[in-house]
């Protein structure tokens, strides 16, 4: 009952005009970013976070929620019209979306994508509101050793499961943790990896690394592709049978089934929208009476992919808000955004700033509904024009925008040069298939892991067995072990076969 | 450059950084050194594994066709120019100002990448500068390096 009161108490602040405006701007910006192949929600949020520094947390989170939901839907536009996924999860949307566009039913496919994204996103936001508050109670059982293992579990799950190669994932995670140790040690005051630079005493700002890793490499990749005229013409013609209520009954089972799959996948660490979309699509096809229609232009295929993909959005924020362990790359970046605004995830977030945390949940819900209003015919026509914007012009604009945010952090060029260095590192790591999300997660969780490790050692006078003394730490340690051992077995089995 | 060579070079580079890092923290007290030392050790061990795996060709074997088609950059020349222009942008920015350098960067990169429509290009660059000025300077009052002509005019008069 108290939780319900707290949830509704946050509502008036969310509905203040400046917060509504932030959500609208964020959703539109997200749609535009998502519709541009090569740009992702993660990148958009990474560029945006430094720019929201002076805004109130709720306005900044409103923009982030809008971008998140908007970009996930926006990815469907080029997937349907050009067979080019705007975001990684929208690969599944191309399976039926593009065949529909080739049959002259692009308008219907785009509408189905819009409705499905909105419904998936809304159900996911409701699951966030329902599941996050009770889960907070579980965290009360956690002490320093449990928090240490929880951080390790979150890190290793993202590092091992997210990329193609567990070794590279673990190296990326360790690099992130190491970058987090730069600056004065909180206990002894000793300087670590500062190379005598005063600017590094307080450590490297999370935003500098985030922007360098996520914004510069894709911008450079855009420049590498030589400019060529896009000659493909995009025809979007509506039909009287394309209405929401005319298709509602037919698509409802697909929406419900895919939403449940997406929410389930979202809560699990390191899975993400792509897996949710694939699983939802396969499940809907498996249970369909006429599965042979899938892949040839069935609207249920578009609905399953988009619902699955968007219902992962808010669900991935459940472990992020409750435990400080994000479920996906985008939620890791949003978590970084929370930290920048002084909001530490975990039970204290729900206790100290309920209006902000529940406000964010409302924002995830409202921005999903906004897709209905903003993602219609006019928006789709507009985005099909946006897709024609030459990437060689867009790329330098992204670079300039990163500077606006990073320069303002300390009004000097030091952070800008670190961002540039991180951009080069990010580019190299990206090309060599190193996942970047573990680096961000390492930065976010590094402090929690080190502090709790040292606290446990301090309490138990350096006894390492204290780390696995309690039953809960044993369980968490066991999960970490399983996570590390399973890929090795899988590789050995694959090598044998 | 093949995937194997690139991966081995990256692993070797990381081992070198681990050695430098190890010397950096060698003077620290045990308590402050413990965590970064453990991380350096992990990176060192995993990078060695990556290097060994690359030398015996295991990584390329797992990646199969992907490794054969792999290229470090779509166009090495344009990648280098991109990074070089960005570095030049950051170098000149404190002297020329944000808007002047951003305008030049947008036009320079687009032209360099083969975009040869002057009017849309100038309009886009101008539009971007006006947008940044309106939103970030006028509305949010974000500090940006001052334009050289503004400084010049203010010192002249």
Collapse the DSSP code of A184 into the 3-class scheme (helix H, G, I; strand E, B; otherwise coil) and give the result: strand
Asked if residue B86 and residue B58 are part of one domain, the reply reads: no
Range in A258-262, A270-274, B82-86, B89-93 the model is least confident about: A270-274
List residues bridging with B92 in a β-sheet.
none
**Residue B60 has what pLDDT?**
60
Pairwise CA distance, residues A125 & A137, whole Å: 20
What is the model's pLDDT at position A248? 83
Q: What is the model's pLDDT at position A236?
A: 67
In 3-state terms, chain A is what percent helix, strand and coil (to 5)?
A: 75, 0, 20
Comparing CB atoms, the residue among A192, A228, A392 nearest residue B36 is A192
Q: Give the domain-ending residue among B34, B69, B104.
A: B69
| Two structure tokens written together for A386 | 């946006």
Question: From the CA of B106, how many Å to the nearest CA of chain A?
Answer: 5
Give residues 26 to 65 of A whose Cβ lies within 8 Å of B: 51, 54-55
Alpha-carbon gap, residue A307 to A354, rounded angstroms: 29
What is A89-111 written as a DSSP string?
Answer: GGHHHHHHHHHHHHTT-HHHHHH
Domain boundary among B69, B102, B122: B69
> What six digits make up the tokens of A246?
């005319």
B31, B74, B105 ranked by CB distance to A188: nearest: B31
Q: Among B47, B121, B142, whose Cβ lies nearest the Cβ of A404?
A: B142
Of B47, B69, B91, which residue sits at a domain end? B69
- H/E run at residue A477: helix A471-496
b/e burial code for range A427-454 (CB count within 10 A of at least 16 → b): bbbbbbbbbbbbbbbbbbbbbbbbbbbb
Q: Are A272 and A75 in contact (CB under 8 A)?
A: no
CA distance B75 to A221: 9
In a shared domain, residues B49 and B93: no
Cβ-Cβ contacts under 8 Å, A170 against chain B: 42, 46
Contact A419, B144 (CB under 8 A): no
| B-chain residues near A193 (CB < 8 A) | 21, 24-25, 36
Partner B contacted by A11 (CB < 8 A): no
Same domain, residue pair B99 and B151: yes
Distance from the Cα of B4 to chain A's closest Cα (Å) equals: 10
Q: How much of chain B exceeds pLDDT 70, in percent?
A: 92
* Sign of the alpha-carbon dihedral angle for B70, B75, B77, B81: negative
Tens of pLDDT along chain A (497 residues) come to 677 888 888 888 888 898 999 999 888 888 887 777 666 777 777 777 777 777 888 888 899 899 888 888 887 887 887 776 767 777 788 888 888 888 888 888 888 988 999 999 999 999 988 888 888 777 777 888 888 888 888 777 777 766 678 888 889 989 999 998 998 887 788 888 888 888 888 888 888 888 888 888 888 888 887 766 554 555 666 676 777 788 888 889 999 999 998 888 887 765 567 778 888 888 888 888 888 888 888 889 999 999 988 888 888 888 888 877 776 777 888 888 888 887 877 777 888 888 888 999 999 999 998 888 887 666 666 766 666 678 788 888 888 888 887 887 778 889 899 999 999 999 999 888 888 878 888 887 888 888 888 888 888 887 888 888 888 889 888 988 887 787 777 777 777 76
> pTM, whole model, 2 decimals?
0.77
Q: Which of residues 71-100 of A touch B (CB under 8 A)?
A: none
Q: Which residues of B touch A55 (CB under 8 A)?
A: 140
Q: How far is CA A257 from CA A4, A30, A270, A306, A313, in A?
A: 27, 26, 21, 12, 16
- The whole-angstrom distance between residue A281's C-alpha and the CA centroid of its chain comes to 21
Residue B66 neighbours by CB under 8 Å, 6+ apart: none
CA distance to partner chain A, nearest, from residue B157 (Å): 26
* Residue A184, phi then psi, degrees to nearest 5: -75, 135
* Yes or no, beta carbons of A454 and B75 under 8 Å apart: no
Q: Which of A27-31, A194-198, B45-49, B137-141 has the highest mean pLDDT?
A: B45-49
The C-alpha angle with vertex A36 and arms to B110 and A214, in degrees rounded to 5, equals: 80
Question: What is the pLDDT, as a whole number, of residue B110?
Answer: 87
**Domain with B39 in it:** 3-69
Q: Which residue of A has its CA nearest to B25?
A: A192
Predicted pLDDT of residue B91: 93
Tell whether the model's pLDDT for residue B84 goes beyond 80.
yes
Quick one: B43 and B106 in the same domain?
A: no
Min Cα–Cα distance to chain B from A260, Å: 33
Chain A residues in contact with B124 (beta carbon < 8 A): 393, 397
Query: Rounded to an integer, what distance in angstroms lies between the CA atom of residue A347 and that of residue A216?
Result: 35
A132 half-sphere exposure, CB direction, 13 A CA radius: 36
Q: Verify that B87 and B147 share a domain, yes or no.
A: yes
Dist. CA A398–CA A208, nearest whole Å:
15
Q: Please tell me whether residues B62 and B80 are part of one structural domain.
A: no
Q: Are residues B25 and B50 in the same domain?
A: yes
d(CA A335, CA A471): 28
**Closest Cα in chain B, distance from residue A435 (Å):** 14
B90 and B125 assigned to the same domain: yes
Any residues with CB less than 8 A from the CB of A241 and at least 6 apart, and which?
none
Spatial separation of the C-alpha atoms in residues B39 and B52, rounded to whole Å: 20
Are B83 and B127 part of one and the same domain?
yes
Whether the Cβ atoms of residue A480 and residue A150 lie closer than 8 Å to each other: no
The reply to whether residue B128 touches residue A190, judged by beta carbons under 8 angstroms, is no
Q: Give the closest residue to A431 by CA, choosing from B115, B9, B6.
A: B6
Q: How many CA atoms lie within 13 A of A402 on its CB side?
A: 34
CA distance A308 to chain B (A): 28
Q: Looking at the complex, does the CB of residue A497 fall below 8 Å from at least one CB of chain B?
A: no
Sort out which chain B residues have CB atoms less than 8 A from A195's CB and list them: 24
- Does A408 reach chain B within 8 Å, measured CB to CB? yes
Tell me what ipTM this predicted complex has: 0.90
Write out the two tokens for B17: 């950084």
Instruction: Answer yes or no: do B50 and A454 touch at CB < 8 A.
Output: no
Picking from A171, A193, A196, A395 by the largest number of B CB atoms within 10 A of its own CB, the best residue to mutate is A171
Nearest chain A residue (CA) to B92: A413
Which of B14, B82, B93 is nearest residue A223 as measured by Cβ atoms?
Answer: B82
Contacts of A177 in chain B (CB under 8 A): 35, 39
Scanning A225-271, the segments in alpha helix (DSSP H) are 244-267
Query: H-helix or E-strand containing A191?
Result: strand A191-192
What pLDDT is attached to residue A231? 47
Q: How many domains does chain B have?
A: 2
Q: Do B109 and A223 touch (CB under 8 A)?
A: yes
Report chain B residues whose CB lies below 8 A from the CB of A224: 73-75, 78-79, 82
Q: For the CA atoms of A468, A474, A477, A483, what is the dihedral angle to 10 degrees?
A: 160
- CA atoms lying within 13 Å on the CB side of residue A330: 34
Residue-range domain boundaries for chain A = 2-227+239-496
């Amino acid at each position: 009952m108290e939780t319900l009161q707290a949830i509704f108490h946050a509502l008036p602040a969310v509905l203040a005009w400046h917060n509504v405006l932030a959500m609208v701007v964020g959703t539109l910006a997200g749609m535009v970013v998502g519709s541009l192949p090569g740009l992702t929600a993660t990148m958009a949020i990474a560029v945006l976070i430094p720019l929201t520094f002076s805004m109130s947390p709720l306005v900044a989170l409103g923009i982030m929620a809008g971008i998140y939901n908007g970009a996930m839907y926006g990815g469907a536009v080029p997937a349907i019209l050009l067979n080019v996924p705007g975001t990684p999860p929208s690969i599944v949307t191309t399976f039926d979306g593009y065949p529909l566009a080739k049959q002259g039913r692009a308008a219907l496919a785009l509408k189905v994508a819009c409705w499905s994204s909105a419904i998936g996103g809304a159900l996911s936001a409701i699951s966030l509101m329902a599941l996050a508050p009770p889960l907070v109670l579980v965290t009360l059982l956690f002490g320093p050793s449990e928090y240490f293992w929880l951080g390790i579990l979150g890190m290793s799950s993202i590092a091992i499961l997210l990329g193609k190669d567990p070794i590279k994932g673990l190296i990326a995670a360790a690099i992130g943790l190491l970058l987090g140790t730069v600056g004065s040690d909180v206990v002894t005051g000793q300087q670590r990896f500062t190379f005598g630079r005063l600017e590094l005493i307080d450590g490297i700002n999370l935003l500098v690394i985030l922007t360098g890793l996520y914004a510069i490499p894709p911008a450079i990749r855009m420049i590498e592709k030589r400019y060529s005229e896009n000659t493909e013409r995009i025809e979007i013609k509506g039909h009287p049978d394309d209405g929401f209520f005319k298709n509602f009954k037919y698509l409802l089972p697909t929406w419900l089934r895919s939403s449940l799959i997406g929410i389930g996948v979202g809560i699990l660490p390191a899975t993400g929208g792509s897996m949710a979309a694939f699983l939802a699509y396969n499940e809907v096809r498996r249970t369909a009476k006429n599965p042979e229609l899938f892949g040839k232009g069935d609207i249920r295929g578009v609905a399953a992919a988009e619902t699955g993909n968007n219902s992962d959005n808010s669900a991935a924020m459940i472990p992020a808000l409750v435990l400080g362990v994000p479920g996906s790359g985008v939620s890791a970046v949003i978590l970084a955004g929370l930290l920048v605004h002084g909001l530490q995830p975990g039970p204290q977030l729900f206790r100290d700033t309920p209006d902000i945390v529940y406000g964010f949940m409302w924002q995830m819900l409202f921005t999903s509904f906004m897709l209905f209003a903003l993602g219609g015919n006019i928006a789709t026509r507009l985005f099909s024009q946006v897709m024609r914007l030459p990437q060689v012009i867009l790329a330098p604009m992204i670079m300039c925008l990163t500077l606006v945010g990073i320069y303002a952090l300390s009004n000097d060029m030091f952070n800008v040069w670190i961002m540039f260095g991180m951009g080069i590192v990010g580019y190299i790591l990206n090309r060599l298939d190193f996942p970047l999300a573990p680096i961000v997660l390492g930065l976010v969780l590094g402090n929690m892991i080190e502090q709790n490790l040292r606290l446990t050692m301090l309490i138990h006078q350096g006894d390492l067995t204290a780390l696995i003394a309690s039953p809960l730490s044993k369980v968490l340690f066991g999960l970490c072990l399983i996570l590390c051992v399973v890929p090795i077995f899988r590789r050995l089995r694959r090598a044998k076969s | 450059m093949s995937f194997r060579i690139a991966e081995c070079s990256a692993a070797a580079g990381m081992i070198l950084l681990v050695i430098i890092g190890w010397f950096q923290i060698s003077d620290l007290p045990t308590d402050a050194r413990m965590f970064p030392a453990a991380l350096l050790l992990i990176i060192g061990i995993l990078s060695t594994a990556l290097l060994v795996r690359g030398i015996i060709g295991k990584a390329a074997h797992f990646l199969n066709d992907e490794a054969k088609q792999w290229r470090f950059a779509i166009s090495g020349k344009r990648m280098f120019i991109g990074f070089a222009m960005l570095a030049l942008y950051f170098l000149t920015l404190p002297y020329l100002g944000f808007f002047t350098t951003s305008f030049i960067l947008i036009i320079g990169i687009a032209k360099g990448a083969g975009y040869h429509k002057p009017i849309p290009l100038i309009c886009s660059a101008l539009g971007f500068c006006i947008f940044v000025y309106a939103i970030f300077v006028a509305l949010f009052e974000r500090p940006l390096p001052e334009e050289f002509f503004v400084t010049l005019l203010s010192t002249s008069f």
